[in-house]
């Protein structure tokens, strides 16, 4: 059933009537579902515990897999003896580097053009703690753990480097033979020296952001099963097709022989965008035993081996004129993606490059190897780190020229994307509105006047000091990532099936897509049956990442639903002897807009019965040519600092976000609150601690020692303020990305508020009581 109108995109915005020219706000008043705060279509499954996550999958005869990780930061395996483990009760397979057919190559890649380092699945040289040494499959998880302890490994323990600041020093242990430099990138526009000469004030500061560990609620893992030569993986992943291609490549299988099923997943944040060693290991154990194998990583192994937000050392020099014009930014970054190429400094510079108007910018980023687990993309990769430096610098510059921080930023709102060739304009840019309307809603001006004092007291009095801070941001992506194809089917009884490849990573993707289809087909979102995230049965798409899922998938869903509607209306027009253009679909009926007597139940349409099913195919047009689709943000917060204990309490937060159209006000606000919460973790608590001097080992490997923000650490008052700038140019639903921009400015806003309260600028994250007192 080819779509004859495949390239014809529908008019913008699923509304009963197309928006009038110049109409900008309150589109949700015209819709039944899109933009409204309606609960998730899978709310019952999620809350009742009946949602099936990969860890819940149980197959007959299933075994349990476990991985033995290297206990050393850097070591060569001298001897691996698995014979005793093989004889342990319940053990059905033991694999490791000494089993050649179970030890394929493993590639680490970063960047475009890809820089690649080849390793092995079970590498005889373990360059980070937790790298896979061997693996077992046993009848139950306890027998599997016991068997790991029976594997005898003799290591040649090697010197390590755990601190990226020491990686390039003479005499530093080398992670790979050739030295610890991964790469240095440079960017320049204008002339920074000239810019500094034109400035009235030049400031320079160094900043460091700690390494954060990926902590999705659901750990990484899968269930692997072979049927003859076909592998099926039930995997917790953001992208079933990415896992399919990763596993197929490593195992030398045709893509068609690898089926990856996603279903429910408990978060990924970037750490589940790709195939992990655990998936391949589960597949190998399953093949060897001829039985299904479940392999879910313990939290400790996820902390060691499946990613982090790289630590970042930054120096920023900035020049400004008294009138608030930025004249120059000179930014240098040293970071690490761990022991293999993994984008250690990736996108750290983007805020400096593109957020504020500045003609003279110089950037140098240096990425080095250390003996630690490889980084993975981490919600808005690089951006919160760069924001930590730039937004604190903006605050300091504003103070130096005695300008309000919001005013100062408004002075430097750019007219297009300066970082891109030819400075293309943004399709929409709400940076100015985020700043202005955010400041107004927060009560910024009034709050600033109380700096350094708790309510009812003079500034500087008492041990509780209040302060407010703000920061803005932009996310590098947020437009489309075609190709994406979606199929919507309507059966002869009028019930509808929506088929898409995208994962719902916990953000509510299914709910939004169901609403978009429901809006067009005049039915309730929860009545739409959704098939998704299965390489065997659903349509190809890119992983759910980059905050691109809604802007990429929703226009395709809408086009597919319209394709169904068009066909349905043609059938009904014939049956009702009506003009097709006069017909509408609502609540299971086709009705005439002008003639009340002309109406039919969809289920009664003989023409549809004859067809059996209507198939609608939708795809998505590229982003508007010559324009950039980026989301923008400004966040404001108030803190109270106890200057005796150094405790920082966040009293309130407001996030003003231009992410285009709000698709569902409930899931939208959830993303804002979640992003702010994650940013509070960056600001106040999260920090990977490696024993840099003696062992190189991870010292905080559980939820007790690696402190995540909890309900006690987030403010009771969190406000989400959508800056809904609508443009039919963006795409046919009007949405831009939301998930990642919401965590970009948070930490810097907290640091600025702490400064406002105490006069102490904390440039190293997390802001700990030890630093404040």
Is residue 729 among the annotated active site residues?
no
Question: Phi/psi of residue 446, each to 5°?
Answer: -65, -45
CB of 633 to ligand MOS, least distance (A): 16
Among 381, 479, 679, 715, indicate the residue that binds ligand MOS (CB under 6 A): 381
Nearer to ligand MOS, 246 or 268 (CB): 268
CB of 377 to ligand MOS, least distance (A): 4
How many residues sit close enough to ligand MOS to count as binding (CB under 6 A)? 11
CB of 112 to ligand MOS, least distance (A): 15
Rounded to whole angstroms, how far apart are CA atoms 441 and 636? Answer: 10
What are the Cα distances from residue 627, in Å, to 8, 92, 184, 347, 423? 20, 57, 29, 20, 9
If one asks whether residue 377 binds ligand MOS (CB under 6 A), the answer comes out as yes
CB of 740 to ligand MOS, least distance (A): 6
Instruction: Give the number of other Cβ atoms within 10 Å of residue 14's Cβ.
Output: 31
Locate 270 and state its tokens: 């970037």
Contact 707, 686 (CB under 8 A): yes
Which stretches does DSSP call E strand in 70-177?
Answer: 75-81, 91-96, 105-110, 115-120, 125-126, 132-138, 152-157
**Segment near ligand MOS (CB under 6 A), from 135-143, 192-200, 376-384, 555-563?**
376-384
Contact 605, 572 (CB under 8 A): yes
CB of 385 to ligand MOS, least distance (A): 13
If one asks whether residue 350 binds ligand MOS (CB under 6 A), the answer comes out as no
Nearer to ligand MOS, 379 or 510 (CB): 379
Query: Considering only residues 224-253, where is the footprint of ligand MOS by CB under 6 A?
Result: 238
Instruction: Give the number of other Cβ atoms within 10 Å of residue 432's Cβ.
Output: 16
- Sequence-ordered alpha helix ranges (H) in 415-548: 431-442, 444-448, 509-521
Nearer to ligand MOS, 182 or 380 (CB): 380
Chain residue whose CB lies nearest ligand MOS: 270
CB of 349 to ligand MOS, least distance (A): 17
If one asks whether residue 378 binds ligand MOS (CB under 6 A), the answer comes out as yes
CB of 495 to ligand MOS, least distance (A): 33
Nearer to ligand MOS, 715 or 737 (CB): 737
Nearer to ligand MOS, 377 or 522 (CB): 377
Nearer to ligand MOS, 270 or 386 (CB): 270
Locate 248 and state its tokens: 């197929």
Nearer to ligand MOS, 262 or 377 (CB): 377
CB of 378 to ligand MOS, least distance (A): 6
- Judged by DSSP in three states, 654 sits in strand
**Segment near ligand MOS (CB under 6 A), from 144-152, 374-382, 520-528, 577-585?**
374-382
Query: Considering only residues 260-319, where is the footprint of ligand MOS by CB under 6 A?
Result: 268-270, 273
- The 533-572 contact track toward ligand MOS, x by CB under 6 A, reads ------------xx--------------------------
Nearer to ligand MOS, 433 or 670 (CB): 670
Contact 738, 609 (CB under 8 A): no
Question: Per the residue annotation, which of 218, 235, 740, 764 is the catalytic one?
Answer: 740
What are the Cα distances from residue 211, in Å, to 303, 713, 739? 11, 20, 20
CB of 174 to ligand MOS, least distance (A): 30
Note the Cα 504 to chain centre separation in Å: 12
**457 burial via Cβ count (<10 Å: 0-12, 13-18, 19+):** middle
Contact 382, 212 (CB under 8 A): no
Rounded to whole angstroms, how far apart are CA atoms 753 and 768? Answer: 14
What are the Cα distances from residue 531, in Å, to 148, 489, 562? 38, 11, 18
Among 259, 294, 309, 379, indicate the residue that binds ligand MOS (CB under 6 A): 379
Locate 98 and state its tokens: 């000494």
E strand or H helix at 198, and its extent?
A: helix 192-198
**154 burial via Cβ count (<10 Å: 0-12, 13-18, 19+):** exposed
Question: Phi/psi of residue 532, each to 5°?
Answer: -150, 165
**448 burial via Cβ count (<10 Å: 0-12, 13-18, 19+):** middle
Nearer to ligand MOS, 546 or 696 (CB): 546
CB of 264 to ligand MOS, least distance (A): 17
| N- to C-terminal Cα separation, the chain | 69
Locate 201 and state its tokens: 């004030």
Nearer to ligand MOS, 289 or 670 (CB): 670
**Interface ranges with ligand MOS (CB under 6 A):** 238, 268-270, 273, 377-379, 381, 545-546
Active centre residues (catalytic):
740
């Amino acid at each position: 059933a080819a779509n004859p109108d495949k390239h014809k995109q529908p008019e913008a915005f699923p509304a009963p009537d197309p928006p009038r020219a110049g109409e900008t706000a309150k589109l949700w008043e015209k819709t039944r579902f899109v933009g409204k705060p309606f609960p998730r279509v899978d709310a019952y499954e999620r809350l009742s515990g009946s949602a099936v996550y990969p860890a819940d999958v149980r197959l007959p005869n299933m075994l349990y897999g476990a991985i033995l990780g290297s206990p050393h930061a850097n070591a060569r395996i001298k001897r691996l003896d698995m014979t005793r483990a093989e004889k342990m009760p319940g053990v059905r397979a033991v694999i490791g580097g000494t089993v050649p057919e179970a030890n394929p190559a493993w590639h680490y890649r970063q960047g475009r053009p890809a820089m690649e380092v080849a390793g092995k699945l079970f590498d005889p040289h373990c360059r980070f703690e937790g790298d896979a040494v061997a693996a077992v499959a046993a009848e139950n998880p306890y027998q599997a753990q016991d068997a790991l302890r029976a594997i005898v490994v003799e290591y040649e323990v090697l010197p390590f480097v755990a601190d990226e600041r020491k990686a390039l020093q003479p005499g530093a242990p080398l992670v790979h033979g050739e030295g610890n430099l991964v790469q240095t990138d440079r960017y320049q526009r204008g002339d920074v020296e000239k810019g500094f000469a034109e400035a009235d004030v030049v400031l320079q500061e160094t900043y460091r952001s700690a390494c954060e560990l990926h902590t999705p609620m659901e750990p990484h893992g899968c269930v692997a099963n072979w049927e003859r030569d076909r592998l099926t993986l039930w995997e917790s992943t953001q992208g079933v097709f990415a896992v399919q291609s990763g596993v197929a490549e490593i195992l030398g299988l045709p893509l068609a022989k690898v089926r990856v099923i996603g279903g429910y997943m408990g978060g990924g944040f970037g750490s589940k965008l790709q195939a992990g060693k655990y998936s391949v290991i589960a597949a190998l154990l399953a093949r060897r035993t001829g039985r299904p194998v479940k392999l879910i990583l313990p939290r400790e192994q996820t902390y060691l081996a499946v990613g982090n937000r790289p630590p970042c050392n930054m120096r920023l020099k900035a020049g400004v004129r008294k009138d608030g014009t930025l004249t120059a930014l000179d930014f240098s970054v040293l970071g690490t993606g761990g022991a293999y190429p993994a984008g250690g400094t990736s996108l750290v510079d983007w805020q400096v490059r593109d957020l504020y108007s500045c003609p003279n910018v110089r950037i140098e980023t240096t990425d080095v190897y250390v003996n630690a687990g490889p980084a993975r993309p981490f919600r808005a990769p690089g951006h919160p780190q760069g924001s930590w430096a730039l937004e604190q610098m903006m605050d300091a510059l504003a103070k130096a020229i005695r300008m309000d921080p919001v005013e100062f930023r408004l002075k430097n709102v750019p007219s297009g994307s300066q970082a891109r060739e030819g400075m293309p304009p943004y399709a929409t840019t709400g940076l100015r509105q985020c700043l202005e309307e955010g400041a107004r809603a927060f009560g910024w001006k009034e709050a600033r006047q109380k700096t350094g004092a708790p309510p009812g007291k003079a500034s500087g009095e008492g041990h509780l000091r209040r302060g407010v801070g703000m920061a803005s941001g932009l996310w590098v992506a947020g437009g489309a990532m075609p190709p994406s194809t979606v199929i919507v089917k309507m059966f002869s009884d009028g019930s509808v099936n929506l088929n898409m490849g995208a994962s719902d990573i916990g953000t509510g993707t299914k709910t939004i897509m169901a609403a978009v289809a429901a809006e067009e087909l005049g039915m309730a979102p929860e009545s739409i049956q959704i098939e998704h995230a299965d390489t065997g049965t659903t349509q190809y798409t890119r992983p759910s990442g980059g905050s691109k899922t809604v802007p990429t998938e929703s226009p395709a869903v809408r086009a597919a639903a319209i394709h169904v509607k068009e066909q349905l209306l043609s059938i009904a027009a014939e049956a009702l002897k009506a003009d097709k253009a006069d017909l509408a679909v609502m609540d299971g009926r086709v009705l005439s807009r002008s003639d009340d007597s002309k109406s039919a139940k969809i289920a009664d349409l003989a023409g549809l019965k004859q067809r059996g099913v209507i198939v609608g195919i939708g795809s998505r047009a590229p982003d508007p040519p010559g324009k950039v689709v980026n989301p923008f943000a400004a966040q404001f917060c108030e803190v109270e600092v106890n200057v005796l204990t150094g405790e920082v309490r966040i009293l309130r937060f407001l996030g003003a976000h231009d992410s285009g159209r709000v698709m569902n006000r409930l899931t939208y606000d959830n993303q804002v609150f979640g992003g702010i919460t994650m940013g509070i973790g960056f600001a106040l608590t999260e920090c990977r601690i490696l024993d840099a001097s003696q062992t190189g080992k991870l010292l905080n490997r559980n939820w007790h020692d690696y402190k995540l923000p909890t309900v006690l650490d987030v403010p009771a008052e969190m406000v989400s303020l959508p800056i809904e700038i609508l443009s039919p140019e963006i795409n046919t639903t009007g949405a831009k990305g939301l998930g990642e921009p919401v965590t970009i400015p948070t930490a810097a806003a907290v640091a600025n508020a702490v400064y406002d309260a105490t006069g102490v600028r904390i440039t190293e994250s997390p802001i700990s009581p030890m630093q404040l007192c």
